[in-house]
Amino acid sequence: MKYITTLLVAVLILPIATRGLKAQKYHSDNGNGTYTNPVIPADFPDPDVIRVGNTYYMVNTTMFIFPGVTILKSHDLVNWQYCCNAVQRFDFSPCYDLDGGNRYGHGQWASSLRYHNGKYYLLFITLDEGGFLSTATNPGGPWKIRHLPRGFYDASLLFDTDGKIYVAHGNTQIYVTELDKNFAPAGKDSLVFTGDIRHGLEGTHFYKINGYYYLYSTYGGVDGIQVALRSKHVYGPYEEKVVMRDTTRGINFGIHQGALVKTQTGEWWSMLFVDQGAFGRFPSLQPVKWIDGWPIVGIDGKAVITYKKPNVGKNYPITKLPISDQFDSPKLGMQWGWNHNPDSTNWSLTERHGYLRLKTAKVVSELPQARNTLTQRIFAYYSKHILSTATTKMDIRHMRNGDVAGLAVFQ
């Protein structure tokens, strides 16, 4: 199930200017050494997390929103900030310009983020264009993207200790494929496991820990079965264990699909997500305890809601992701993204200081066809029920009869 939910400011016919977007309290850190899940109450799905030194990086799915492939950074796994958007635009099909088609429900899926020998790697797929690899020496960019000979569904990279590179991938049937130095297949796909609990085993993350190869995967669905597969050999045979099976109260689908990460102090944690329907998929941070070589997630396989923060060696201040904007900078904030590629000739932050000016790129009859539709994730705030509020100010003095512009929820 792949979708994205955002607030958007749209222009269909005529130029408008817009400013301001607010929400209420929405940070996870309770200020007393504990945190409350979700760690980010907004749509940051399919997380992959790594630690480099004292900094954690998390990448998420952004599909048809650009700039996209959002990377966040944190020092404690609870308080996150924007690091960069690794892909500024996607020019591999005119559909990303809403020209002759679109990429709704498609675009970038489930990136694998890795750090190896001084370089950062992002491997991801689009269902229509195939596989892509982005690389950078600085996580903040610039990132260099290239089209790969083939794509892999829900792929996860592994740089093995013997210098070989592998990718784990697939749905229900999980494969391992060796890659050459150019990240092209070095041989045939090897089927290493077929999901036997139910259909839909996917979202695999590939690790080598204490001599074992681990495929950390999910069956998804209402009860969100998270499993670990392990083997002493990269091509198996793999044995399977359910490491988490839980439906947290108040959510639509169980906690599932994500990454394992080890802190500087030796603790293990898992960043997964919970599906909140129209609000999106929220990251959920769960403790991990290794028992007999298996990463048991949460408390005995059940999710924690409020829990002690990870021990990362020191305390860090509470940080909040930006959601409001006065548009007083010449550069668009990283909380914003365009619905498909923008037409850069028809929007401006400098023509009128303190305003975003949107100009009609093309007259269209329906909102999904409109170019330069600016979006932002819906942020919920912590309360008994999932709630969110948003406001915007618009200068509509130059609109004419029949013109349409405004604020909408877009899924």
Catalytic residues: 46, 202
CA–CA separation, 57 vs 46, rounded Å?
Answer: 13
* Burial per residue of 306-331, b for 16 or more beta-carbon CB atoms within 10 angstroms, e otherwise: ebebbebeeeeeeeebebebebeeee
> In sequence order, which ranges of 261-388 are alpha helices (DSSP H)?
none
Q: Cβ contacts of residue 42 below 8 Å, gap of 6+?
A: 26, 279, 280, 282, 321, 377, 378, 379, 380
CA nearest to 38, candidates 307, 277, 285: 285
Q: At residue 306, what are phi and psi to the nearest 5 degrees?
A: -105, 130
Is the N-terminal amide bond of 38 cis, ω within 30° of 0?
yes
Query: What DSSP letter does each residue of 14-64 carry, written as one string?
Result: S-EEEE---------B-SSSEEES-SS-S---S-EEEEETTEEEEE---BT
Q: Between β-strands 356-358 and 347-348, what pairing exists: parallel, antiparallel or unpaired?
A: antiparallel
